[in-house]
A and B are shown apart, each in its own frame.
Chain A
Amino acid sequence: MRSYAFAAVFTVFASLLPLVVPEAYLYVIGLAYIFAVIVISWDLMVGYTGQVNLGHTTFVGLGAYVAAILQVPPRIGMHFDVSPFVAILVAGIAAATVGFAIGIITLRLRGYYFALVTAILPLVFMQTVYIWRDVFGGEEGFSIGLENAIATTVVGRYYVALFLLVASLLAILAIVNSRVGLRFKAVRDSEELAESLGIDTTKYKVLAFVISSFFAGISGATIVHYRVTVSPELYDVPLMLLVILSAVIGGIGTVFGPLFGGIVVYLAKNWWLRDLIAALGLPVNDEIVLYTILIAAGILMPRGAYAAFSERLKLYKLRR
């Protein structure tokens, strides 16, 4: 129950934000909300079933390109008109379908195959953008046209992004707190034990992967309708690492940790990190800084910043 109260406080706070924050910032914060959906959906797979998904951006990119093609059907030689919301839903279903196919093949095997195969996926899907350049637009991507934007004003887009985040958050909270969520955790903690209790581990791993891919797909599609362009960086490995960094700092398997981790990391990367590096005169780029933080966080606080901090605090109190 506490988590729903938390979600309510967050929603109220976030919906009041446009009253005080200027539009230029709201635009970035809205994108941070969509990014947070990608992070919490990654966490559903990795934090709750313990399967390392290194190809989550495959589904973000796939959703993005499916939605973009639906808005500009002449690129595949067809003519029809769909509303943004239908396009986003179809994109989510497409991502979930691909997730199902890959999950069926890799998740019935125990161990490391899933991590290895998902690590390759974004690189393969990246190449499709270059191989079918006329359709997908190569490295520059293409615009879907302002008339297909999800809302005409920045404030409107901000609220759509917030709605996506809150709806996804409530759905994922409902899943992890249900009996299905318990089974996910049983699979994570011990596959043998889960199996001996009669849990079909493959079924639940695939289910988690399909749900997680669905949310990644609709996030990718929403980004396209938010920014009005699609480009291959939505598939790419740096975005994947940003997702992982957010979840690791927030604390894997906690829903709210990855949520706030996602918002903070996204804003940091797109707001002040580059300026900070330039101001300090460091001879590195922002990605080097982020990867270094990820290595340090993974080793020093594998359960997230909040858990690490509260443990230290407890130790300190005990010593006194």
Chain B
Amino acid sequence: MLKAKKTSKIIDPQHAGFNKTTDSERRKAFAVREPQKDISLRLKELYEYHELIYFLIWRDLKVRYKQTALGVAWAIIQPFMTMVVFTIFFGNLAKMPSEGLPYPVFSFAALLPWQLFANAMTTSSNSLVNNRDLITKVYFPRIILPIASIVAGLVDFCIAFIVLVAMILYYGIIPSAAILVLPLFVLLAMASALAVSMWLSALNVQYRDVRHLIPFMTQIWLFVTPIAYPSSLVPENWRFVYGLNPMAGVVEGFRWALLGKSNVSWSLVTISSLMVLFLLIGGVLYFRRMERTFADVV
């Protein structure tokens, strides 16, 4: 053992002296450019670029509230005002059931993961088109752009979460141990956003229709997700179809983990999670297949 250590010590300075590369290392090509035949996820390469992901997130955050009067307050105002409107119309006027919870908390706890998803999906789906100059001038795994936009959305979520905590305290709700799995549902919301934006961002490069589709889509999507109403309103035999909406499971699970009381439909959460997984794998593969021509088309 001692011997081995010694020899390695002798060789090392020589390696270092030759600009970190040795003949045997270098004969293996550092990179190969050729028409891609198979689709691989190239996760290792993604790791090599982790600093760029970090810088792009940092850029998004730095820029987001520049030259705004209210600044970060926007992260709170949006979900909060929506909650107020929902409470007045759905809670008070329509007398929507809220599973024994105060309606404001009931809807706000659902609006947070929803906003996380909707905003992340929107910015992420436009990320490739908005960073056209980067795509045509520099190489990096293109998947970095949608990923960075999604992670940057998490900050808004965290800020709004403080308001949610305040509301929980105000209404005197005591979370159960289920709160420990809350981060999982946040992750699931981000995974859903990533899954959808893998498809939409790649499509957006070629078809700018996507840009018009997204606002319309999120609007509809809001109503097929149990935000203003509990999922128990959906008839039992329609639950399966309802669960195909990835956000149905996310919102349901998030509300359960935080507020505890609602009787969560586990089949719904399972179907939604599987749907996210399915969409995500398909989306990443589709993205990887399309990214070869992004620079030529965007």
A and B associate:
no
